[in-house]
Structure 1
Amino acid sequence: MKLRDVLVISAIVLLDLITKQIVASNMRLYQSIEVIQGFFRITYATNTGAAWGMLSGQMVFFYIITVIALVVMVSLLMKTQNDDLFQRAALWLLLAGTLGNFYDRVVFQYVRDFLDFTIFGYDFPIFNVADISLTLGVGVILLETLLSARRQKHGNI
């Protein structure tokens, strides 16, 4: 793993942990501050599960799966070519998001969430910077897969 990899991953993890700590230190659990009326709130919540609270309270399961995922992602990052920016960026985002939420699970036995949106009347589950990082990482992989398929289809391999 290169120094650049460590720096980018560390910056994202720090942003995640700092924002979580600011919210946890300044708000009561389930307190909500409306930022954009009817659309965006800062709401301090905790989650002992995965996305949408699935598998709530299954900490040992999360520890095992997370350690396996981290080992796989680090090994992939170490094998990734330096000029393959899409794959490196995806792995940076996935590793950072995984590490940010793993820290919370180990230290607190729950994940701290605070970004709360209502989109077209749907009150979206509350999330955090690590969740954004994970989602963007998956998005980069999907984008690269689509672009790669398109290049192969048009003979631009």
Structure 2
Amino acid sequence: MYELAIALLIAFDQIIKAWALNDLQYKGSISVINDVFNLTYVENRGAAFGLFQNNQWAFIVVALVASIIGLYFLHSNKISSKLGKLSVVLIIAGALGNLIDRIRLDYVVDYFDFVFIWNYVFNLADCFIVVGTFLLCVYVIISDNKQKN
């Protein structure tokens, strides 16, 4: 069941990236909300915020290891709550969504551009990773508090 959810999230991510590659790439940027949000095509050869450029093999290894460990935790009894399992599903889907790009294209396709916040363009897989990590932190804090009481 977890694998199906992961596959569906990856498929959604890859469909949007296919659109970005086939259409947005040739337009460069589309303003959705003036001076706030654009859809901007970017080829990211680094990690978050474009850091560690051109280290594809390191990113591939990290994504694979994180996904294998995540799948282990999903199928073990180490995570008992739906919140914890959802967080791991999101992290795996994001890691594998970007991994597919790195293997297939040698870069990650980014397109969400919130110009009023900072000058960083990201994608849906990145959102999965960030939201999943946040939820995992909440899960750990809640679990820790339950164990103390």
TM-score between both structures, scaled by the size of structure 2: 0.91
Aligned to 1:145: 140
Q: CA deviation at 1:82?
A: 8.1
Aligned to 1:10: 7
1:119-142, CA deviations, whole angstroms, 9 ceiling, x for partnerless residues? 3xx324101110000011101111
SS of 2:121 mapped into structure 1: coil
Structure 2 Cα separation of the partners of residues 86 and 27 of structure 1: 35
Q: Is the 8 A contact 1:93 1:133 kept in 2?
A: yes
* Stretches of 4+ aligned residues off by more than 3 angstroms: 80-83, 149-153
1:16-50, CA deviations, whole angstroms, 9 ceiling, x for partnerless residues? 00001111101236711000111110001010110
Amino acid at match of 2:105: F
**1:39 equivalenced with 2:42 (yes/no):** no
**How many equivalent pairs are there?**
149
**Higher Rg of the two aligned structures:** 1
Amino acid at match of 1:60: W
Gaps of 5+ in 1: none
Q: Is the 8 A contact 1:80 1:88 kept in 2?
A: no
Would the alpha carbon gap of residues 137 and 72 (structure 1) be closer, same or farther in structure 2, given more than 3 Å must change?
same
Would the alpha carbon gap of residues 68 and 30 (structure 1) be closer, same or farther in structure 2, given more than 3 Å must change?
farther
Q: CA deviation at 1:10?
A: 1.0
Aligned to 1:134: 129
TM-score between both structures, scaled by the size of structure 1: 0.86
TM-align CA RMSD:
1.8
Structure 2 Cα separation of the partners of residues 84 and 10 of structure 1: 21
